[in-house]
Structure formats: structure tokens, C-alpha cells
């Protein structure tokens, strides 16, 4: 790779030539090739990726053939890196800082970022855009022929170097193991945060989790930390119960063996009228409805975290909504404010409260990324960490 520095003058920063795994077409193997990463513009940071983890959202958008899909694109959004250079007006990080990139912006200045009620930045609203957040129709990636490569979820970590808006980076302690810290860049923060911040799970409560993939397991970890007494996992794969027990799951329902009953009926019978909190972690409008049907009347909360197909709709009976007093809410990034809550989760990891080690089932070289994709597709890994270099 080529170094992008020629002096301390930000205006003299040069493009960096490096390796990236480029997605040229939906569902096809990623292509490892050399690309050019442009210097950071105002309010931007260029970072060298240390390692990146695979998230199921990468699989979702890798397969997707309709908008917001676009190609060629550099996927990846769960990672850790070191600041290589900064653009103008960047003051909160400097060259050499260890940072976590996050898909959720946290500008710290808008009314929403200043409010404890929301993590949805209004200055830089989250959207699945192929461009830089502040510069519409602007990419920092090109191939060696000068063709534009699109960004993904404000991060694009399947590249040795990437450029992010400063609102999408969180400075962290460089002594924390990178292959654990990177998990808080997306998946674990999303699940743990959904239990901790969005639902605010109470001690002694009953929790039901639809889907025991990595996000569902992170919800279980969050519910365990919050002191839930019953954590019921729902999945079609019975092997998931054995895995889930390591994360605090106490009971299991195989939704394929409920005979003539809906899974919501089974849950209502198990819990004597419904769970206090239900989490949908698959990305299915039908399961959102099932989760809502088995959260308790009067105070039950249903939290949806799964990414469904574009245009999917949820259908609820209006009289049920009126009469049962339940809450249905979405949760992006677990309701966490990245720059204030990620450091708190890292402290809980370092104090051995938050158990990150059990999420990492595989570690591989970046060059083996297509093999890692297959492991995730086959359901053989929770989190696979890919090391650069």
C-alpha cells in the first residue's frame, strides 16, 4: 500500500492505495483488489482498519438486488481502527488515536444528540446511503481505473483504509483487545443496548427473544446484565438453545414444533399472559406481530431490531392496540449514543461484567473473507473477526 502523507499540511494529503474486498454484484463472491482511498475532507477522518467483524446486515445487503442496494460497493461496518489523518475542523480525534467506527452518527450538537431521549441525530440523519454523510454524491473510494466505489452504512470496513465522518467515530482506550472492542461497533451494542436503553429491562422480569442469531444473543446478554429472571429464546434451530444458555437464555421454544398453535400462544401459556419484554431480532414483519401478541397487556414492550425486506409492513388490529396498552418500538443501534455509551460498555467488559469473548467463534485473515461469509451463511459462527495485514 502507499502512504497518503507528504507533510503535516492537511491540504497536501494524498490518496492511499490499499486492498479492499469489493462487492461487484449481488450475491457474488467479494473481489480482493487494490483501490484508492481519497484524503479526508472537512469533518472527516481517514482510518487504518485493524480488524473487522462480519455482521448479518453485511449478508443482507450483499444479497439485496433492489434499492437501497447499489454496486460496486465496499461493505463492512463493524470494526476498529487507528486514525491515519484528519480533515479540517476535526478536533476530537488526532492521528494515532484508536477509534471504533459506527454506522449511527453522534454529532453531539443537534437537539436530538443533546437529548437523553434519542440517539437519532437530526443533523446527519441515518440512511443507507452510498455517499459520505455531509457530501451528497461524493465517495472517497475509486478503483484503479477511476471508477467510483460506493460506501456502506457510513463505514465500509472491508478495506484496509476507509474514510468516515467524525460523527461516526468513537475514540477508545488503545489497550483494549481490538478483536473484542470491534464487536461494540455494531452488533453487541445493538443487542445489549436494546435491552438496557431501549426496553430498560427490569430486574426479575421475563424476556422473550425471537431469533438467536448474534443480535438475539446480544439481547440475551443485555437482559442478563439487567437481571431478567426468565429469558426465553425462540428459534427454528434447536442447537441455538445450547448456544443461548451461555448468554443467559433459560428456556427455549422451537417455533417449528408448536403443532397447531402459534408461537405467541405457546409463549402466553408459558408466561401466564405474556412476557414483559419481547424482542424481534430476525427481520420479519410476521414475527413482529407474533412478538407483539405475546407481550403482556398493560405494560408489555415489543422491540424490533431485525432488518426486514424494503417495503415490508406490520399489520396490527387497531382495537388490540387501543385496548391492550402495549408498546411497540424500533431500536437502531440499541438506542445507544455511540460516543457516550460505547465507553461505558467497554468499561463493563474490562470489569468482566459484559462478556464479549463468547461472541467470537472464528478469527481469520482478511483475505479469507469469502470463507467467513460462508460460515455466517451456514449458521456456523456467531462473530467472525477478520484481521488486516
pTM: 0.95
Q: How far apart are CA 316 and CA 227, in angstroms?
A: 31
Q: What is the pLDDT along the chain (389 residues), one digit of tens a residue?
A: 666 654 456 667 999 999 999 999 999 999 999 999 999 999 999 999 999 999 999 999 999 999 999 999 999 999 999 999 999 999 999 999 999 999 999 999 999 999 999 999 999 999 999 999 999 899 999 999 999 999 999 999 999 999 999 999 999 999 999 999 999 999 999 999 999 999 999 999 999 999 999 999 999 999 999 999 999 999 999 999 999 999 999 999 999 999 899 999 999 999 999 999 999 999 999 999 999 999 999 999 999 999 888 889 999 999 999 999 999 999 999 999 999 999 999 999 999 999 999 999 999 999 999 999 999 999 999 999 999 98
Phi, psi of 46 (to 5 degrees): -105, 130
Residue with cell 470496513: 157
b/e sequence 95-131, b meaning 16+ C-beta within 10 Å: eebbbbbbbbbbbeebebbeeeeebbbebbebebbbb
Q: How far apart are CA 63 and CA 57, in angstroms?
A: 10
Quote the cell numbers at residue 330: 424500533
122 Cβ partners below 8 Å, 6+ apart?
Answer: 110, 111, 112, 113
With CA atoms as reference, report the closest residue to 278 among 347, 223, 335, 356.
Answer: 223
Pairing between strand 360-365 and 206-210? unpaired
**27 class by beta-carbon count within 10 Å (0-12 exposed, 13-18 middle, 19+ buried):** exposed
Amino acid at each position: 500500500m502507499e502512504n497518503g502523507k507528504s507533510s503535516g499540511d492537511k491540504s497536501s494529503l494524498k490518496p492511499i492505495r490499499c486492498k479492499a474486498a469489493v462487492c461487484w454484484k449481488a450475491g457474488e463472491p467479494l473481489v480482493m483488489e487494490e483501490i484508492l482511498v481519497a484524503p479526508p475532507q472537512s469533518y472527516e477522518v481517514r482510518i487504518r482498519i485493524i480488524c473487522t467483524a462480519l455482521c448479518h446486515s453485511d449478508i443482507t445487503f450483499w444479497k439485496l438486488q433492489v434499492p437501497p442496494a447499489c454496486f460496486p460497493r465496499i461493505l463492512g461496518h463493524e470494526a476498529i481502527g487507528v486514525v491515519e489523518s484528519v480533515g479540517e475542523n476535526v478536533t476530537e480525534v488526532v492521528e494515532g488515536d484508536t477509534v471504533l467506527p459506527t454506522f449511527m452518527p453522534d454529532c453531539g450538537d443537534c437537539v436530538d444528540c443533546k437529548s437523553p431521549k434519542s440517539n437519532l441525530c437530526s443533523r446527519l440523519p441515518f440512511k443507507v446511503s452510498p455517499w459520505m454523510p455531509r457530501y451528497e454524491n461524493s465517495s472517497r473510494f475509486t478503483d484503479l481505473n477511476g471508477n467510483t466505489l460506493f460506501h456502506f452504512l457510513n463505514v465500509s470496513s472491508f478495506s484496509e483504509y476507509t474514510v468516515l465522518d467524525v460523527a461516526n467515530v468513537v475514540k477508545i482506550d488503545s489497550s483494549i483487545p481490538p478483536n473484542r472492542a470491534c464487536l461494540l461497533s455494531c452488533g453487541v451494542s445493538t443487542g445489549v443496548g436494546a435491552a438496557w436503553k431501549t426496553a430498560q429491562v427490569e430486574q426479575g422480569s421475563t424476556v422473550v427473544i425471537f431469533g438467536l442469531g448474534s443480535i438475539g444473543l446480544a439481547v440475551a446478554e443485555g437482559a442478563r446484565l439487567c437481571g431478567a429472571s426468565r429469558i426465553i429464546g425462540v428459534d427454528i434451530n434447536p442447537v441455538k438453545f445450547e448456544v443461548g444458555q451461555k448468554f443467559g437464555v433459560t428456556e427455549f421454544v422451537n417455533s417449528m414444533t408448536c403443532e397447531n398453535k402459534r408461537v405467541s400462544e405457546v409463549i402466553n401459556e408459558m408466561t401466564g399472559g405474556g412476557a414483559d419484554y419481547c424482542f424481534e431480532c430476525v427481520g420479519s414483519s410476521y414475527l413482529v406481530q407474533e412478538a407483539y401478541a405475546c407481550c403482556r397487556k398493560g405494560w408489555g414492550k415489543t422491540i424490533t431490531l431485525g432488518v426486514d425486506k424494503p417495503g415490508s409492513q406490520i399489520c396490527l388490529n387497531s382495537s388490540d392496540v387501543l385496548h391492550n396498552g402495549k408498546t411497540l418500538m424500533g431500536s437502531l443501534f440499541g438506542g445507544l449514543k455511540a460516543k457516550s455509551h460505547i465507553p461505558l460498555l467497554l468499561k463493563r467488559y474490562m470489569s468482566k461484567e459484559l462478556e464479549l469473548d463468547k461472541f467470537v467463534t472464528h478469527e481469520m485473515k482478511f483475505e479469507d473473507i469469502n470463507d467467513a461469509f460462508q460460515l455466517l451463511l451456514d449458521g456456523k459462527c456467531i462473530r467472525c473477526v477478520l484481521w488486516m495485514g
